[in-house]
Structure 1
Amino acid sequence: MDTSFQASLLDMCEAAGPGPLGPTVKRTHLAHGAWIDVRPAWVAGADALFERLAQVVPWRAERRHMYDRVVDVPRLLKFYEEDEPLPDPLLEDARRALDAHYAGELGEPFRTAGLCYYRDGRDSVAWHGDRIGRGATEDTMVAIVSVGSPRSLLLRPHGGGGPTLRHDLGHGDLVVMGGSCQRTWEHAIPKTGRPTGPRISIQFRPRGVR
């Protein structure tokens, strides 16, 4: 599997691990009680982390029913259940830091981790919200750490018809979607025809949210 991408020079200058949160996090309030937090370059050593995850995670290709046919899911996947060891100690550190920062708001720890491998610009995920389980009826949080080459995360109100927000995420960037975001907004990683390197996203979620 080709894991080549353009590494960030800034990422080579710091000790590996998650950085501070607190005032370094920028929150944007959206409509309908939704919000997103963004913390650029949160994880130092993210490029080396990308290389490790690309090699050690047991990536799986999936096929799903789409209308009247079965199609390949355009990305590779691995889901880590509750109490399943994460594939790298740095991810354990990141989850602990997120738990500490969001404990007062979320009221519970992040329990699971879903990993997605976007190999190039042809890999993508369509518009959706994480509405399987509690996210369909309750406010919750999904924290996403991106490593590897930046890709565009788009957000729009559920069903469209409103402004579309864009954040280019990679090289250790953090975005957290909270409040009603999973019910009232949608997010996507669109395909792109531009040359782009691979990216891995790590989605930390509380219990019962998919």
Structure 2
Amino acid sequence: MEAVQESLFDIAADRRNLGDGAWVELRTRWLPSAGSVFETLRDEVPWYGERRRMYDRIVDTPRLLKFYEAGAALPHPALAAARDRLSRDFWADLHEPLTSVGLCYYRDGDDSVAWHGDTIGRGATHDTVVAIVSLGATRPFLLRPRGGGASTRLSVGHGDLLVMGGSCQRTWEHAVPKQPGAGPRISLQFRPRGVR
């Protein structure tokens, strides 16, 4: 069983260096209108499922998705406001705006996402920023060095902002594990052009 470090964070907003140019930042209760945004997105987004090959069979991805490319109409004005604020707040790290918004709907504690890095496109070769706003149930967010090692467990709650930057997508992996009994959660992922 792999070792788990409970948290890198004391109470709220601070950035921690993970090594090899990677960093992570957590800001609690960052989105004050989180409740109404959650309800609108849950009820009005045209969610879809995906199927993926898992070993020798095709299975349903354990969450629902929706992706909004740069310039697409967003389903709630708070998403555009958040994207613009994040682009300003992290300009010094990225030197370009965040443009796309990906949404994941974890319907209950059986929905999850396995270990991965956002390495489709430029994230595989360049430092980047991926900013995640969490709405709904508090869920664990795990980070571990790519290739294995002790994982770090962060508790990300309703309205919290978690930002992964620098080389994090190339040198670290992240996951949201199953959590029996957990309520619904929506994750909003803000990324720059060419990162998935």
* TM-score past 0.5 threshold: yes
**Would the aligned equivalents of 1:79 and 1:114 in 2 still touch at CA under 8 Å?**
yes
Taking structure 1 as the reference length, what is the TM-score of the superposition?
0.86
Amino acid across the alignment from 1:206: P
2:87 is the counterpart of 1:94: no
Gaps of 5+ in 1: 1-23
Out of 149, 157, 179, the residue aligned to residue 170 of structure 1 is 157
**Would the aligned equivalents of 2:135 and 2:159 in 1 still touch at CA under 8 Å?**
yes
Secondary structure of the structure 1 residue equivalent to 2:58: strand
The CA deviation at 1:170 is: 2.3
Secondary structure of the structure 2 residue equivalent to 1:130: coil
2:173 is the counterpart of 1:186: yes
Higher-strand-fraction structure = 2
C-alpha separation in 1, matches of 2:104 and 2:161: 15
Taking structure 2 as the reference length, what is the TM-score of the superposition?
0.92
The CA deviation at 1:48 is: 1.6
Task: Give runs of aligned pairs for residues 131-150 of structure 1, distance below 5 A.
Answer: 131-150=119-138
C-alpha separation in 1, matches of 2:117 and 2:78: 27
Secondary structure of the structure 2 residue equivalent to 1:30: strand
Task: Give runs of aligned pairs for residues 1-210 of structure 1, distance below 5 A.
Answer: 25-161=13-149, 163-193=150-180, 195-210=181-196
The CA deviation at 1:34 is: 0.4
Cα deviation digits, residues 159-193 of structure 1 (max 9, x gap):
212x3111111210000000100000000000122
Alignment: residue pair count: 185
The CA deviation at 1:25 is: 3.2
C-alpha separation in 2, matches of 1:133 and 1:48: 33
Alignment correspondent of 1:3: none
**Would the aligned equivalents of 2:21 and 2:168 in 1 still touch at CA under 8 Å?**
yes
**Would the aligned equivalents of 1:126 and 1:189 in 2 still touch at CA under 8 Å?**
yes
What is the RMSD of the two structures over their aligned residues, measured on CA atoms? 1.0
The CA deviation at 1:74 is: 0.1
The CA deviation at 1:157 is: 0.2
C-alpha separation in 1, matches of 2:192 and 2:57: 33
The CA deviation at 1:155 is: 0.2
C-alpha separation in 2, matches of 1:94 and 1:156: 27
Identity of aligned residues (%): 61
The CA deviation at 1:199 is: 0.2
Amino acid across the alignment from 1:166: R
**Would the aligned equivalents of 1:170 and 1:199 in 2 still touch at CA under 8 Å?**
no
C-alpha separation in 1, matches of 2:114 and 2:36: 28
C-alpha separation in 2, matches of 1:71 and 1:55: 25
Amino acid across the alignment from 2:51: R
